Structure 1
Amino acid sequence: MESVYILGGLRSHIGIKNGVFKNILPEKLGAEVLKELIFKYNLHNIDEIICGNAVGTGGNIARLMSLYAGVSEEVPAYTVDMQCGSGSMSIDMAFAKIRSGMCDLIIAGGFESSSLQPLRYYNKNDPRYSDEKPYFQVAQFSPYEDQENVMLMGAERVAQKYNMKKEELDFWVLESHKRAAKARNKRILNDIICSIGESDYDEGIRNRINQRLIDRLKPLVSENGFITAANSSLTNDGAAFVILCSERYIKNNKITQKAQIVQTALKGANPLYSPESSIIVTDELLKSRKMKYSDISAFEFNEAFAVIDVMFQRKNPTLIDRYNTLGGALAYGHPYSASGAIIMLHLLKSLEYVDGEYGITTVAAAGGIGSSILIKRS
């Protein structure tokens, strides 16, 4: 089987909903990043573009984005929808195609616009249709429930199941913003970010967040619940892509890779407790390689909720300095389908920052599916 490498990648700044990217179509936001990426790495002979999108207008929006970017019509581009895990799944699929020898160069990632998320309408013959509210924004992810706040409810159930304390969740809210602000001040991520339109910073990072502000926030799910606007990520706009290639492509083009993708894993979990899939799939990935958490230099988990952080910390109390070293989605935000590629780019920078060897990205997706990727820094 072919070895699979990461050449590099690029992301946009991450905008908050109705922020700097509020008037930019998601396919055009993705196209701008894709154009910059192809120019920066002087890419030729692209075999495929695999791209996640969860809340766009539907259709093969990745193909539309590719054409807007000026990519040759001969290059196929197609859309993946695994919700929060779409970007990670796109990388996973690209890995499999190159590893099997079917392709040599694939661009994978995702793009999203919460600002321009359309309302979708049920057909009147659909039993879920209601004259009072005929439209929906959040799809049904499991047969057990169909509510707009299903992801918040899943996080709340996990907090209750593990008897999490407010102090544990608050720690990660403050820590995520602190680490992200430090990374921004040190300009660690500058070479993987491109400005689109008037963007010049990630809008979600709060320099002045403090315990008093967190304490003012009311629970979002139930009166005595744990999940608040602080310990859940914002909805965002953004785009990110990673370049994957074969060893043959590297040799033929005399270029140097950033890392090797060693293994990927997908694992289902109870959809009512979807954040749990982050730990379940990471356990599975490490088991498949006969490795331990302590063998990994850096972890990048998609920090959709602080409950994910607390589960990791309880399992690995001595490894929290290796976890989301540059901050997580509680600070940067979570542009759904772009997040898998964003955290992969952050992982590459984290490994460089700590001079580490092995790294893991993990995303817990709606419906209870965990996606995890193990890489080895070159």
Structure 2
Amino acid sequence: MSEIVDLSVETLDLPLSEPFEISLGVQHEARNVLVTVETEDGTTGYGEGAPIPPVTGETREAALATVRAAAEVVEGRPVGNYRRIVSELRSTFPGMVSATFAVETAVLDAFCREREIALSELFGATPSPVETDMTIPIVPAGTARERAARAVEQGYEHLKIKTGNDLDEDVDRVLAVREAAPEAALKVDANQGWTPKETARFAERVADQGIHLDLIEQPVAASDVVGLAEARRRVDVPITADETVFTPEDAIRVVREGAADIVNVKLGKSGPLAAADIASIAKGADLDLMIGCMLESAVGIHASAHLVAGIGAFSFVDLDGNRLLAEDVVETAEGPVHDISGPGHGVVPER
């Protein structure tokens, strides 16, 4: 069994094609980290993390420092002992989710590449195409209309609309998207921007316009599980827990308190192995599953798509992060379908 001989990290700056605003702030570029793991037989694995302080609680500088410190945990260990390595990473660096996601992905990628299997096979299936939605950020209604129309032209049948700053503007944005994309399935993501009462007001106003929503994602503060449950009781639209769920223990609490209909699993919050555990908890509790992403390149996005293909139980897929970049780390096709392949997650960064 080959040992890991080197772990390294570098910054990965990824300008966006357009500014991306959510209720938690505006991004003009993704300031990510790229991790490389090398085994003694010369195999290289790659992982990416996207630290966003309002979401992950990390700065990039902190993520870089964590990865460098993680070398003591990873180097000299058999790559096949990836579960023990990941468990030790998570316990040694609690809360450093972007950094440990990047390292974990690189280790799993190296393991799979050594054995010439796809990452999806660790989770139950060979690779298959994964279709994503497209996100409309917080923009004026007219701009939202233009972006929705462009997305439809590119073949997107599922759109996610960011909300959570101003209720009137939120409703106008949804109406504009529906006008431009009358056949598209719509989701709304408030990124913790509302109270339960505001969630109910929004849902009522949108319903009065005859608009069906597939779900409302994380309407209230991440820590307010009681408020999330209250929002769920107040509206008929399915409620999704996102920032509330980072760990399997978080998912169990959401289940016990009846706080959501859907759980949004993100590798950028949980890492691949814990994400699979969260998916199992949700499935066992008869909750629906969504997968989301940060503003990541094909490295992070394809890792997530492999989890989708492997588990095969995600009803909602929001893996458009690399579609929002001015330039990806590899050449990728435009449009809603990720054609993933192995070995590993199949991506070798060219920049």
Taking structure 1 as the reference length, the TM-score comes to 0.29
Greater relative CO, 1 or 2 (CA 8 Å, sep 6+): 1
- Give 1 or 2: higher helix fraction: 2
